[in-house]
Structure 1
């Protein structure tokens, strides 16, 4: 596995531009004069943790109005699917004719169900496909139970039923594909059967443009067997846990929103625009910067996850990424 860290990626863009190994056979699947595809993406809003989740969503929607993407998508851990949150959920759903959802692990906390997610979010199914301007987006549900290696924590798995469905979709779809999941399929905190899923995706690398995920609240990118996996950072914070519990906001906010003390919040909402440009053969992920509110993970000496580090993957921004579709054999 080749890991591209933020610093080398940015330096590479400045110096020469980044060319990564994605087969250009996928370009042949676009029709002549194919349209650019632009997606407004936000993930891990955690409205039920943050005191200002609604304001963060509004910042995203303001950018959507300005950027005019072809669709918008929230990639999980959005807001509990219930009547209390219905105004916020409807605000998202009504902001664009095509508003898509991914189910996150926290969306079913406190007794909420996937059935409620489908109802309130207006999802067609827990995993599904959606075609936009000739690109097929495959949306997965990484919350399956039944992992033979899971010992504790939230389920993080693609079960046999969904795996067979994914294989069938990859076989039948003769269009460029973007794979979307909440839990990552590669890198930090990947699903339990990540190696198996990576093999399935790599077998269809001549169709897949990129795989994107939320969940980790980090800024990261890994390349495995000709598939680029990009972790989209959270709209709200990095979770540090009880060992690093601290107050970032005034006391009155923490009294009403106790879980914020387990996070290092971002001052501004993070989100991005993903643009697929067939004419130039590029995939562009828009960068967006913020700052920490209060103590940063580095100042707290956060060292809980060995594969990621403050100042590298743990940062209050989304890096600008330019992935160029180039000629390459599998």
Structure 2
């Protein structure tokens, strides 16, 4: 984390997103007649035990809100916890008895391989999709390193250390092929979850083969438009950057969702007093609403950090 973030975080690069071609759309009435609004709880980048910080109180706050809100499911978007000394985190997570979904983040493999953390989380597959109440959800795994010979290797026990930024955050070809087929077969509007951003990020050197993914998204939406079907990609939710951003590209809403815990800059980790998370509502009429949480910095934080990095997940109401 320190090596990755120290280059750009303190030089004050603007947080504004570039807005490209957008086109709002609603799901065809034939596909919405029996569908209700869907609501899910979202949290990302908890980073339990990162820098030795126990984040049980943050996940407890999130789950307590989840139990009050009673969403249709919850999802954590990566960098959640390690496979040891995290039983209390999973105990809190499992207080919610409804459907729960995991996304692999890079730091989840700081001390183990993917299979180990997936077993600890009870996560059957590293990438997958599911349908829920008239929406199609896709979970991606972007945790591959590109070797000098062009081959990819899984993130495994901090093995990314020797790799320079351009070799990180790749997605394997088998998954890209699956993604293309999965989107083509989807029957409903699509929501995507991934840890590392493919759009809006300042860390342009750490986007791996993001262009390959964006081309698949673009083609999927172009095909859906031509065929006048309701399976366009509506939104992509991303973590990793510990930032709060929204932008559109070719009809897709992209959201970088802020960390539940802190932002890291050259001056160190600056923790939020209260945890950040969100509840997201999908209306089959074509409206996406984000209700985010806000906080303040907990400790002495330089003014330049306070001015650049918001302690919130912003509220949004957008058409898709």
- Same fold? TM cut 0.5: yes
Distance in 2 separating the partners of 1:282 and 1:4? 25
1:122-161 aligned at under 5 Å gives the runs: 122-146=122-146, 152-153=164-165, 155-161=168-174
Structure-2 residue corresponding to 1:91: 92
Residue aligned with 2:89, SS: helix
Structure-2 residue corresponding to 1:105: 106
Structure-1 residue corresponding to 2:180: 167
Question: Cα 1:25–1:204, aligned 2, differ >3 Å: closer, same or farther?
Answer: farther
Structure 1 residue runs of 5 or longer lacking an equivalent are: 10-19, 245-261, 303-309, 326-330
TM-score, length of structure 2 as denominator length: 0.80
- 1:156, CA displacement in angstroms? 0.4
Distance in 2 separating the partners of 1:143 and 1:187? 19
Structure 2 residue runs of 5 or longer lacking an equivalent are: 1-13, 152-159, 225-231
Question: Cα 1:229–1:91, aligned 2, differ >3 Å: closer, same or farther?
Answer: same
Q: Check the 8 A contact 1:211/1:227 in 2, yes or no.
A: yes
Distance in 2 separating the partners of 1:212 and 1:86? 27
1:315 aligns with 2:320: no
Q: Say how many residue pairs are matched.
A: 280
Residue aligned with 1:32, SS: coil
Structure-2 residue corresponding to 1:234: 259
1:276 aligns with 2:302: no
Distance in 1 separating the partners of 2:293 and 2:198? 23
Q: Check the 8 A contact 1:145/1:159 in 2, yes or no.
A: no
Q: What is the root-mean-square deviation in Å for CA atoms of aligned residues?
A: 2.6
Structure-2 residue corresponding to 1:42: 43
Distance in 2 separating the partners of 1:120 and 1:67? 26
TM-score, length of structure 1 as denominator length: 0.78
Distance in 1 separating the partners of 2:164 and 2:319? 39
Question: Cα 1:181–1:80, aligned 2, differ >3 Å: closer, same or farther?
Answer: same
Structure-2 residue corresponding to 1:67: 69
- 1:95, CA displacement in angstroms? 1.6
Distance in 1 separating the partners of 2:209 and 2:53? 35
Distance in 2 separating the partners of 1:177 and 1:160? 21
Distance in 1 separating the partners of 2:66 and 2:101? 14
Structure-2 residue corresponding to 1:200: 216
Question: Cα 1:5–1:194, aligned 2, differ >3 Å: closer, same or farther?
Answer: same
Distance in 2 separating the partners of 1:204 and 1:33? 25
